[in-house]
């Protein structure tokens, strides 16, 4: 195993450097923030604000989601990690997130689990600043330390294990949510 700076093993991108939200449109593409995407990379298209498709073209000059990528909340939802996917249609990423693009010798699922770990999250939170709206800067993010096996195969096995666990948790959460809705419906029927 070795300890490396996140910025040395990944490419960390500010998706929207102007930090000015583009105007909202009625019929456009999602401009996703951390709350609009679940851990597996699925977009809640109802909650995401819509922006012009031109924003997609502008953004994808800076980042390519065909490269395995993660998003990390660096404003407000500090440290929340999501998978960014390229197989779900066009979308652009809000500047409240940083895009972490994976390079050779690093497994995306391993890195996802590593960033979610309490050790990394503690480092991350120690970098936050701001009195009313906490944030972590891009440069600070690049300096954070991750521990990883030198062998990519070992990273892949660990990453697969935790990805399977995440999927199992998501499946059970959906079942639980369904049962809660069912219970709520039954209670409403009983006490009407």
- The DSSP-derived string for 40-83 is T--B-TTTSEEE-HHHHHHHTTT--TTS-EEEEE-BSSTT-EEE
C-alpha–C-alpha distance, residues 37 and 77, integer Å: 12
Going by pLDDT thresholds of 50, 70 and 90, the confidence category of residue 88 is confident
pTM over 0.75: yes
- In 3D space, the residue among 48, 16, 47 whose CA is nearest the CA of residue 29 turns out to be 48
* DSSP class of 34: G
pLDDT of residue 87: 87
Burial 133-169 (b: 16+ CB within 10 A, else e): eeebeeebbbebebebeeeeeebeebbeebbeebeee
Average pLDDT, the chain: 87
CA dihedral sign of residues 149, 114, 15, 129: negative
Band (119; pLDDT cuts 50, 70, 90): very high
pLDDT score, position 132: 65
Nearest-angstrom CA–CA distance, 79 and 118: 10
DSSP readout, 75-116?
Answer: BSSTT-EEEE-SSS---EE-TTEEEEEE-TT--HHHHHHHHH
The pLDDT of residue 131 is 63
The residue ranking higher by pLDDT, 87 or 76, is 87
Residue 4 exposed, middle or buried by CB count within 10 Å (0-12, 13-18, 19+):
middle
Distance CA 85, CA 83 (A): 6
Question: What average pLDDT does range 154-167 have in this prediction?
Answer: 91
Give the integer Cα–Cα distance in Å for 169 and 100: 24
Does the pLDDT of residue 21 top 90, yes or no? no
pLDDT band at 55 (very low <50, low <70, confident <90, very high): confident
């Amino acid at each position: 195993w070795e300890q490396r700076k996140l910025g040395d093993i990944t490419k960390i991108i500010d998706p929207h450097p102007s930090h000015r939200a583009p105007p909202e449109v009625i019929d456009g593409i999602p401009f996703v923030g951390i709350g609009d995407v679940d851990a597996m990379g699925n977009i809640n298209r109802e909650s995401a604000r819509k922006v012009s498709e031109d924003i997609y073209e502008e953004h994808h000059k800076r980042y390519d989601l065909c490269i395995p990528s993660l998003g990390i909340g660096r404003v407000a939802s500090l440290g929340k990690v999501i998978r960014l996917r390229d197989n779900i249609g066009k979308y652009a990423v809000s500047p409240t997130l940083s895009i972490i693009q994976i390079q050779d010798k690093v497994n995306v699922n391993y890195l996802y689990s590593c960033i979610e770990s309490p050790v990394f999250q503690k480092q991350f939170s120690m970098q936050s600043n701001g009195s009313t709206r906490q944030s972590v800067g891009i440069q600070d993010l690049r300096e954070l330390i991750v521990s990883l096996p030198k062998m990519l195969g070992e990273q892949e096995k660990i990453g697969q294990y935790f990805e399977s666990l995440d999927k199992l948790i998501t499946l059970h959460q959906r079942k639980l949510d369904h049962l809660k809705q069912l219970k709520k419906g039954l209670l409403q029927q009983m006490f009407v």
